[in-house]
Chain A
Amino acid sequence: MSDVLNLILAHQSAPTVTKMIDYWSKCVPRDNILIAYGGNKSEFDAIDYAQKFFVDDARLRTSDHQREFQSYTGLLRATAAWIDNQSRRFDFVHFAEYDHLPLVNDLNPRQIASLTAERADLLGYSLARVDETNHPHFLYHSANPEFAAFWRRITCRADANVVLSIFGSGSFWTREAFCAVAAIDEPFPIYTELYLPTLAHHVGFRVRSFDEQQHPFVQAVGDATGKIDNARAQGAWTLHPVKQFWTN
């Protein structure tokens, strides 16, 4: 059985993070959960769980994420270092933000099966090719000439113009792809939803989308806390966003 590291980004109070870990443990093995903590240090210290690390990265702690080019690169890098220090081998990494709720107790095997079926190195939600489109994040970045120049410089693909966008939470990676992308220096601030899938693509990894059936359950805005049972009944593997779930 392949091991999946479930990387959860949280910033809530220590008791709430404990509640998260307990909930997640019903869906994935408890030992396969790693907490990346973006809250304050005293709360981090109070979390009674060994597999955790503190993220002290201004590029993660943005308030207007798109305009401030929020970055997960530091988070990926810290996770890759953590993986390297383990005696266990993780073959895959599943990344979820705190408000992305797993709904099935065999989540990781389902994700591995999807990744394998797609022959992909990275699976995500809302994956789209956005170059030459009206996609606001693409237009915002393409105003910087360095943006296109960077992809031309690093790509191993025939077409350096391809730009991909993916939803920030819920990505599922092979370990090789995750660590390779984490190892590359972000040349200047690029919003994470463009940077990670586009970088993975241009260094040669295959980026694909989760089954379309799952996409309605992973939305960017709103709060689906009241729709958990309904989503599960409709076949959802995960649900996002469920911001009120942990405080109810």
Chain B
Amino acid sequence: MRNLLRALALKLAQTFGARVVNSETGELLGKALIIPWRGKIHIIGLGSVVKPVFQPQKRLAYWKQEIVFIVPPKPDFPNERDSRKIDNR
């Protein structure tokens, strides 16, 4: 019963929730309910992996900031194998 209710709530969130967009590309990442509650912002139903960041502002504004979502780039780190560091762990 609990799982059924949760599935129903998720379906509603993913159908009628706010559009979540990758602010760098404009790609739609999904829909979710975004609810401020007790000092936190609750995100319900979002199926994508996103990173929330404050949006840079071209005009200085003290009264408003925006939190947007981005998708971290695919890992592309070089090989930095250094056996001395590993051995000294």
Q: C-beta contact mask, B47-89 vs A, less than 8 Å → 1, else 0?
A: 0011110000000000000000000111111111110011001
Contact check, B86 vs A203: say whether CB atoms are below 8 A apart: yes
A130 at the interface (CB under 8 A from B): yes
Task: Give B76's nearest chain A residue, CB to CB.
Answer: A208
Best-surrounded residue of B73, B75, B81, B86 (most CB of chain A within 10 A): B75
CB distance from A97 to the nearest CB of B (A): 22
Contact check, B79 vs A205: say whether CB atoms are below 8 A apart: yes
Contact check, B43 vs A127: say whether CB atoms are below 8 A apart: no
Q: Which residues of B contact A207 (CB under 8 A)?
A: 75, 77
Q: Which residues of A contact B13 (CB under 8 A)?
A: none
Given A162-B77, A164-B75, A208-B75, is A156 in contact with B49 using a C-beta cutoff of 8 Å? Answer: no
CB distance from B37 to the nearest CB of A (A): 16
27 contacts between A and B (CB under 8 A): A119-B79, A129-B74, A130-B72, A132-B51, A132-B72, A133-B49, A133-B72, A134-B43, A134-B50, A134-B51, A135-B49, A154-B89, A157-B80, A162-B77, A184-B89, A201-B75, A201-B77, A203-B86, A204-B80, A204-B81, A204-B85, A205-B79, A206-B77, A206-B78, A206-B79, A208-B75, A208-B76
B46 at the interface (CB under 8 A from A): yes
Interfacial residues, chain B to chain A (CB-CB below 8 A): 43, 46, 49-52, 72-82, 85-86, 89
CB distance from B5 to the nearest CB of A (A): 19
Complex CA gap A129/B74 in Å reads: 6
Contact check, B81 vs A205: say whether CB atoms are below 8 A apart: yes
Complex CA gap A220/B88 in Å reads: 37
Cβ-Cβ contact count across A and B, 8 Å cutoff: 63
A121 at the interface (CB under 8 A from B): yes
Q: Which residues of B contact A154 (CB under 8 A)?
A: 89
Interface of B is mostly: loop
Complex CA gap A74/B46 in Å reads: 34
CB distance from B46 to the nearest CB of A (A): 7
- From residue 90 to 130 of chain A, which have CB atoms closer than 8 A to chain B? 119, 121, 127-130
CB distance from A231 to the nearest CB of B (A): 23
Q: Which residues of B contact A153 (CB under 8 A)?
A: 89
A209 at the interface (CB under 8 A from B): yes
CB distance from A206 to the nearest CB of B (A): 4
Contact check, B77 vs A127: say whether CB atoms are below 8 A apart: no
- From residue 192 to 234 of chain A, which have CB atoms closer than 8 A to chain B? 201, 203-209
Q: Which residues of A contact B74 (CB under 8 A)?
A: 127-129, 209
CB distance from A102 to the nearest CB of B (A): 25
Complex CA gap A47/B76 in Å reads: 41
Which one of A128, A156, A204, A206 lies within 8 Å of B72 (CB-CB)? A128
Which one of B52, B76, B85 lies within 8 Å of A156 (CB-CB)? B85
Complex CA gap A162/B75 in Å reads: 9
Q: Which residues of B contact A134 (CB under 8 A)?
A: 43, 46, 49-52
